[in-house]
Amino acid sequence: AQKITQTQPGMFVQEKEAVTLDCTYDTSDQSYGLFWYKQPSSGEMIFLIYQGSYDEQNATEGRYSLNFQKARKSANLVISASQLGDSAMYFCAMREPRGNYGGSQGNLIFGKGTKLSVKP
Amino acid sequence: GAGVSQSPSNKVTEKGKDVELRCDPISGHTALYWYRQRLGQGLEFLIYFQGNSAPDKSGLPSDRFSAERTGESVSTLTIQRTQQEDSAVYLCASSLKGASYGYTFGSGTRLTVV
Protein backbone atom coordinates (compact mmCIF):
# COMPACT_ATOMS: atom_id res chain seq x y z
CA ALA A 1 0.00 0.00 0.00
CA GLN A 2 1.15 3.52 -0.75
CA LYS A 3 2.41 5.41 2.26
CA ILE A 4 1.81 8.83 0.73
CA THR A 5 -1.03 9.53 -1.69
CA GLN A 6 -1.37 12.67 -3.73
CA THR A 7 -4.53 12.30 -5.79
CA GLN A 8 -4.13 15.40 -7.97
CA PRO A 9 -1.62 14.84 -10.80
CA GLY A 10 -2.18 18.42 -11.96
CA MET A 11 -3.83 21.57 -10.67
CA PHE A 12 -4.51 25.00 -12.12
CA VAL A 13 -5.00 28.15 -10.07
CA GLN A 14 -5.49 31.77 -10.98
CA GLU A 15 -2.80 34.16 -9.85
CA LYS A 16 -3.54 35.71 -6.42
CA GLU A 17 -6.00 32.99 -5.49
CA ALA A 18 -5.47 30.32 -2.84
CA VAL A 19 -5.00 26.64 -3.71
CA THR A 20 -5.03 23.43 -1.69
CA LEU A 21 -2.88 20.46 -2.63
CA ASP A 22 -4.07 17.18 -1.16
CA CYS A 23 -1.98 14.62 0.68
CA THR A 24 -3.02 11.58 2.69
CA TYR A 25 -0.67 9.23 4.44
CA ASP A 26 -0.64 5.81 5.98
CA THR A 27 1.27 4.89 9.10
CA SER A 28 0.78 2.87 12.25
CA ASP A 29 3.32 4.96 14.17
CA GLN A 30 2.20 7.65 16.59
CA SER A 31 5.31 9.74 16.07
CA TYR A 32 6.09 10.90 12.55
CA GLY A 33 6.87 13.98 10.54
CA LEU A 34 5.19 15.37 7.44
CA PHE A 35 6.95 17.55 4.88
CA TRP A 36 6.17 19.42 1.70
CA TYR A 37 8.74 20.10 -1.00
CA LYS A 38 8.58 22.20 -4.15
CA GLN A 39 10.40 21.20 -7.33
CA PRO A 40 10.48 23.89 -10.05
CA SER A 41 11.40 23.04 -13.62
CA SER A 42 15.05 23.60 -12.71
CA GLY A 43 14.89 20.34 -10.76
CA GLU A 44 16.01 21.49 -7.33
CA MET A 45 14.03 20.28 -4.32
CA ILE A 46 13.03 23.10 -2.01
CA PHE A 47 11.82 22.42 1.53
CA LEU A 48 8.60 24.33 2.27
CA ILE A 49 7.04 23.27 5.54
CA TYR A 50 7.10 20.65 8.29
CA GLN A 51 4.39 19.27 10.62
CA GLY A 52 5.13 16.96 13.53
CA SER A 53 2.52 14.41 14.47
CA TYR A 54 2.32 15.79 18.02
CA ASP A 55 2.12 19.42 16.96
CA GLU A 56 -1.26 20.80 17.98
CA GLN A 57 -1.10 23.84 15.77
CA ASN A 58 -1.09 23.71 12.00
CA ALA A 59 2.31 24.68 10.63
CA THR A 60 2.64 27.94 8.72
CA GLU A 61 5.53 29.39 6.76
CA GLY A 62 4.72 32.65 5.02
CA ARG A 63 2.17 31.94 2.29
CA TYR A 64 2.30 28.21 3.01
CA SER A 65 0.20 26.48 5.63
CA LEU A 66 -0.37 22.83 6.34
CA ASN A 67 -3.93 21.73 7.08
CA PHE A 68 -3.18 18.80 9.39
CA GLN A 69 -6.09 16.48 10.19
CA LYS A 70 -4.55 13.65 12.17
CA ALA A 71 -7.65 11.48 12.51
CA ARG A 72 -8.14 11.56 8.77
CA LYS A 73 -4.38 11.15 8.12
CA SER A 74 -4.46 14.18 5.93
CA ALA A 75 -1.77 16.85 5.48
CA ASN A 76 -2.92 19.23 2.78
CA LEU A 77 -0.76 22.14 1.68
CA VAL A 78 -2.49 25.50 1.30
CA ILE A 79 -0.80 28.20 -0.74
CA SER A 80 -2.37 31.61 -0.32
CA ALA A 81 -2.17 34.42 -2.87
CA SER A 82 -0.63 32.27 -5.60
CA GLN A 83 2.19 33.74 -7.66
CA LEU A 84 3.46 32.80 -11.10
CA GLY A 85 6.66 31.55 -9.45
CA ASP A 86 4.63 28.96 -7.55
CA SER A 87 4.25 26.93 -10.74
CA ALA A 88 6.12 23.71 -9.96
CA MET A 89 5.78 20.12 -8.81
CA TYR A 90 4.86 19.74 -5.17
CA PHE A 91 5.72 16.63 -3.20
CA CYS A 92 4.32 15.52 0.13
CA ALA A 93 6.59 13.31 2.23
CA MET A 94 6.54 11.47 5.54
CA ARG A 95 9.28 10.39 7.88
CA GLU A 96 8.55 7.54 10.25
CA PRO A 97 10.60 7.16 13.38
CA ARG A 98 12.30 3.90 12.59
CA GLY A 99 14.18 2.83 9.53
CA ASN A 100 14.32 -0.66 8.13
CA TYR A 101 17.61 -1.29 9.89
CA GLY A 102 16.33 -0.21 13.29
CA GLY A 103 17.87 3.21 13.05
CA SER A 104 16.64 6.09 15.09
CA GLN A 105 14.82 7.60 12.13
CA GLY A 106 13.58 6.43 8.80
CA ASN A 107 14.04 7.99 5.43
CA LEU A 108 11.54 10.34 3.82
CA ILE A 109 8.90 8.60 1.74
CA PHE A 110 7.56 10.77 -1.07
CA GLY A 111 4.26 10.90 -2.87
CA LYS A 112 4.08 11.02 -6.66
CA GLY A 113 3.59 14.76 -6.67
CA THR A 114 1.13 17.37 -7.94
CA LYS A 115 1.98 19.69 -10.79
CA LEU A 116 0.69 23.16 -10.01
CA SER A 117 0.27 25.69 -12.78
CA VAL A 118 -0.50 29.31 -11.89
CA LYS A 119 -2.34 31.24 -14.59
CA PRO A 120 -1.84 35.00 -15.01
CA GLY B 1 30.14 24.28 1.74
CA ALA B 2 26.85 26.06 2.14
CA GLY B 3 24.77 23.40 0.40
CA VAL B 4 24.82 19.83 -0.79
CA SER B 5 27.13 19.50 -3.77
CA GLN B 6 26.76 16.80 -6.41
CA SER B 7 29.03 15.99 -9.30
CA PRO B 8 28.92 15.64 -12.17
CA SER B 9 25.77 17.60 -12.93
CA ASN B 10 25.31 15.67 -16.16
CA LYS B 11 26.69 12.33 -17.27
CA VAL B 12 26.18 10.54 -20.55
CA THR B 13 27.49 6.99 -20.63
CA GLU B 14 27.33 4.00 -22.88
CA LYS B 15 25.28 0.99 -21.90
CA GLY B 16 27.41 -1.49 -19.99
CA LYS B 17 29.85 1.05 -18.58
CA ASP B 18 30.24 1.80 -14.88
CA VAL B 19 29.52 5.25 -13.47
CA GLU B 20 30.33 6.91 -10.18
CA LEU B 21 28.29 9.79 -8.78
CA ARG B 22 29.53 11.96 -5.96
CA CYS B 23 27.77 13.78 -3.15
CA ASP B 24 29.32 16.21 -0.70
CA PRO B 25 26.85 16.87 2.15
CA ILE B 26 26.49 19.89 4.36
CA SER B 27 29.13 19.90 7.06
CA GLY B 28 27.71 18.56 10.31
CA HIS B 29 24.84 16.68 8.68
CA THR B 30 25.11 13.13 9.92
CA ALA B 31 22.46 11.69 7.63
CA LEU B 32 22.88 11.29 3.87
CA TYR B 33 20.38 9.91 1.37
CA TRP B 34 20.35 8.95 -2.27
CA TYR B 35 17.16 9.08 -4.34
CA ARG B 36 16.41 8.41 -7.98
CA GLN B 37 13.89 10.40 -9.99
CA ARG B 38 12.89 9.18 -13.40
CA LEU B 39 11.45 11.71 -15.84
CA GLY B 40 8.06 12.94 -14.66
CA GLN B 41 8.07 10.65 -11.65
CA GLY B 42 8.39 10.99 -7.90
CA LEU B 43 11.46 10.30 -5.79
CA GLU B 44 12.50 6.70 -5.31
CA PHE B 45 14.56 5.98 -2.19
CA LEU B 46 17.85 4.19 -2.79
CA ILE B 47 20.07 4.22 0.29
CA TYR B 48 20.49 6.04 3.60
CA PHE B 49 23.58 6.61 5.74
CA GLN B 50 23.38 7.72 9.36
CA GLY B 51 26.69 8.47 10.99
CA ASN B 52 28.73 5.33 11.47
CA SER B 53 25.71 2.99 11.55
CA ALA B 54 25.23 0.34 8.91
CA PRO B 55 23.50 1.92 5.91
CA ASP B 56 19.90 1.22 5.00
CA LYS B 57 20.26 -0.31 1.53
CA SER B 58 16.65 -1.42 1.23
CA GLY B 59 15.94 0.80 -1.77
CA LEU B 60 18.77 -0.29 -4.05
CA PRO B 61 17.09 -1.80 -7.14
CA SER B 62 19.75 -4.38 -7.97
CA ASP B 63 23.23 -5.53 -7.06
CA ARG B 64 24.59 -3.30 -9.81
CA PHE B 65 24.00 -0.39 -7.44
CA SER B 66 26.23 0.30 -4.47
CA ALA B 67 27.16 3.29 -2.35
CA GLU B 68 29.82 4.19 0.12
CA ARG B 69 30.30 6.90 2.66
CA THR B 70 33.28 7.44 4.89
CA GLY B 71 32.21 8.76 8.27
CA GLU B 72 30.09 11.87 7.82
CA SER B 73 31.72 13.07 4.64
CA VAL B 74 31.49 12.47 0.93
CA SER B 75 29.42 9.65 -0.51
CA THR B 76 29.73 7.94 -3.87
CA LEU B 77 26.98 6.03 -5.65
CA THR B 78 28.28 3.50 -8.15
CA ILE B 79 26.23 1.90 -10.89
CA GLN B 80 27.90 -1.01 -12.62
CA ARG B 81 27.09 -2.24 -16.12
CA THR B 82 24.64 0.59 -16.70
CA GLN B 83 21.35 -0.10 -18.46
CA GLN B 84 19.06 2.31 -20.27
CA GLU B 85 16.51 2.07 -17.47
CA ASP B 86 19.13 3.58 -15.15
CA SER B 87 18.67 6.91 -16.94
CA ALA B 88 17.33 9.33 -14.34
CA VAL B 89 18.27 12.20 -12.08
CA TYR B 90 20.08 10.97 -8.99
CA LEU B 91 19.47 13.25 -6.04
CA CYS B 92 21.51 13.35 -2.87
CA ALA B 93 20.28 14.94 0.35
CA SER B 94 21.63 15.43 3.82
CA SER B 95 20.07 16.30 7.14
CA LEU B 96 20.70 16.61 10.84
CA LYS B 97 19.74 13.66 12.99
CA GLY B 98 16.16 13.82 14.19
CA ALA B 99 12.75 13.14 12.70
CA SER B 100 11.78 16.81 12.57
CA TYR B 101 14.60 17.80 10.26
CA GLY B 102 13.90 18.03 6.58
CA TYR B 103 16.42 17.28 3.93
CA THR B 104 18.61 19.68 2.02
CA PHE B 105 18.92 18.38 -1.51
CA GLY B 106 21.69 18.77 -4.01
CA SER B 107 21.01 19.79 -7.59
CA GLY B 108 21.26 16.21 -8.77
CA THR B 109 23.18 14.32 -11.40
CA ARG B 110 21.33 13.73 -14.64
CA LEU B 111 22.44 10.33 -15.93
CA THR B 112 21.73 9.34 -19.52
CA VAL B 113 22.60 5.84 -20.66
CA VAL B 114 22.81 5.51 -24.45
Residue type for A61, please? E
Put simply, the answer to whether B50 touches A103 (Cβ < 8 Å) is yes
pLDDT, tens only, B92-110: 999 887 666 778 999 999 9
Interface test with A, best of B4, B56, B57 (most A CBs within 10 A): B56
CA distance A7 to B96: 31
Put simply, the answer to whether B99 touches A95 (Cβ < 8 Å) is yes
Residues 6 or more apart from A59 whose CB is under 8 A from it? A49, A50, A51, A65, A66, A68
pLDDT, tens only, A13-69: 999 999 999 999 998 888 888 999 999 998 889 999 999 999 989 999 999 999 999
Interface test with B, best of A42, A98, A107, A115 (most B CBs within 10 A): A107
pLDDT, tens only, A90-107: 999 998 766 544 444 567
CA distance B51 to B97: 9
Q: Chain A residue closest to B96 (CA)? A: A105
pLDDT of residue A97: 66
